[in-house]
């Protein structure tokens, strides 16, 4: 998916969970570009046959089996993407944290509201 498509998708997801603010645009753009890179690496991995392990030839001609470097890059990009998702409130834990902060930092109750709340409790 392109960065433009990812940006649109991220905005829609954030709007759906109520975390979108225009101030997050730079973070959304950075996340979208990172996700495009991640998708490109995965496409290259698929095009090369989806091999988890590859044979590397060392300096002296010895051959070793090693993890496909594309998988390592993909995993690193995925980890970075998750951090962006957390920052944007797109994981369950981060959304819960944002909502709890909003509740705790909500408007101050008036004296009347406090008195009524005390009567209910």
CB atoms within 10 A of CB 88: 23
Question: Percentage of residues in the chain with pLDDT exceeding 70?
Answer: 83
The CA distances from residue 79 to 58, 72, 116, in Å, are: 29, 11, 48
pLDDT over 80 at 21, yes or no: yes
Q: Tokens 């498509």 belong to which residue?
A: 5
pLDDT for the residue 22: 93
User: Residue 104: its pLDDT value, please?
Assistant: 58
Could you tell me the residue ranges of all domains in the chain? 3-120
* pLDDT tens-digit series, residues 26-70: 999 999 999 999 999 999 999 999 899 988 888 888 888 889 999
Phi, psi of 18 (to 5 degrees): 80, 25
CA–CA dist 36, 22 (Å, integer): 21
Query: Alpha-carbon distance 72 to 74, whole Å?
Result: 5
Please determine, for residue 108, whether its predicted confidence score (pLDDT) is greater than 90. no
Check whether 10 has a pLDDT greater than 70: yes
**Euclidean distance between CA atoms 99 and 112, whole angstroms:** 25
């Amino acid at each position: 998916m392109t960065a433009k498509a990812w940006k649109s998708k991220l905005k829609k997801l954030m709007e759906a969970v109520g975390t979108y603010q225009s101030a997050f645009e730079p973070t959304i753009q950075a996340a979208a570009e990172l996700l495009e890179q991640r998708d490109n690496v995965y496409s290259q991995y698929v095009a090369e046959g989806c091999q988890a392990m590859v044979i590397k030839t060392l300096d002296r001609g010895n051959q070793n089996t090693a993890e496909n470097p594309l998988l390592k890059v993909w995993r690193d990009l995925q980890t970075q993407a998750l951090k962006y998702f957390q920052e944007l409130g797109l994981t369950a834990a981060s959304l819960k944290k944002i909502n709890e902060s909003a509740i705790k930092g909500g408007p101050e109750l008036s004296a009347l509201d406090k008195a009524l709340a005390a009567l209910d409790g």
